[in-house]
Chain A
Amino acid sequence: MPVSYYFALSAILFTIGALGVLIRRNAIVIFMSIELMLNAANLSFVAFSQLHDTLRGQVLVFFVITVAAAEVAVGLALIVTIFKTKQSINVDVLNELKQ
């Protein structure tokens, strides 16, 4: 089975994630789209790793997943804080630096 199928799928998923960031106004959905993009990149990593018969790509994916977990914890905490001050998580409401 040709490798390029996995790269095509990864590219499609990444594009859908990027579209989500551009279109949606809900901060949580934007965040989920970022997770989708991270996963698309992970899929490429594993495919490349298997293609070149090495484990390094898989170790890298392991690190990406760990960093994504840390990012989600901090990001969701930020969203909760924004909701406390603005009573909304619509990203269009966040248009000023002072509260």
Chain B
Amino acid sequence: MTSDFLLFLVLAVVAVASALSMLLSRNAVYSALFLVINFATIAVFFLLLGSPFLAMVQVTVYAGAIMVLFLFIIMILGTEQLRQDETLPWQRPIAIFLGVVLLVETGFIIYSLGFQQGILPDFRSFASGYASPADIGILLFNEYLLPFEITSVLLLVAIIGAIVLTKDQKS
């Protein structure tokens, strides 16, 4: 049992627990804060998988920018506590059943089909590479230059869309 594995195990427990707390918490602000914990653990997983650049992007963009935006909107609207009145009967048991079905399905695909067809090599460990930010940058600006530029257009459209949607209609 290596230290990598121990770290993975502890963080996996934290990630699943924070995701479940996000799901079950009555207050939307607590949900958002639990999700921040979850994103932080995923950033550490990225570090364990040898991609420090993505780990930093995860912390700054996801845990930083996106979750602050969420908290901002929750507090603007003042909808932390929403009454959970059941309009659809049996919604919760059916949802839990479907969730279990989904988990079994993915587990089946990963563990039997994946290993049989050689998509996943059985118990091979990771390549011990280190993806430096410079390497990612070179790949991004050479081979993926067009998608990168299209992404900038997408962000511009999202900015304009957000402003247009929230603009006061009366003026």
Contacts and interface: CB of A to CB of B under 8 A. Distances in A.
Interface in A1-54: 1-9, 11-20, 22-26, 28-29, 31-33, 35-36, 39, 42-43, 46-47, 49-53
B107 A72 contact: no
Contact of B131 (A6, A25, A58): A58
Contacts of B155: 66, 69-70
Given A4-B123, A43-B45, A50 B32 contact: no
A56 to B, nearest CB: 7
Contacts of A22: 91, 95, 98-99
Interface residues of A, number: 69
Contacts of B151: 63, 66-67
B96 A19 contact: yes
A24 B91 CA distance: 10
B166 A63 contact: no
Interface in A64-85: 65-74, 76-81, 83
A63 B50 CA distance: 18
Given A18-B102, A36-B35, A7 B49 contact: no
A92 B84 CA distance: 10
A2 B42 contact: no
Contacts of B106: 11, 14-15
Chain A interface main SS type: helix
Interface residues of B, number: 83
B113 interface: no
Interface in B45-83: 45-46, 49-51, 53-54, 57-58, 61-62, 65-66, 69-70, 73-74, 76-77, 79, 82-83
Contacts, number: 221
A35 B35 contact: yes
Given A16-B20, A62-B136, A92-B87, A73 B53 contact: no
Contact of A50 (B50, B62, B66, B162): B50
Given A69-B65, A76-B70, A80-B77, A16 B19 contact: yes
Given A13-B15, A88-B79, A88-B82, 6 more contacts: A8-B107, A13-B19, A19-B95, A46-B49, A47-B49, A58-B53
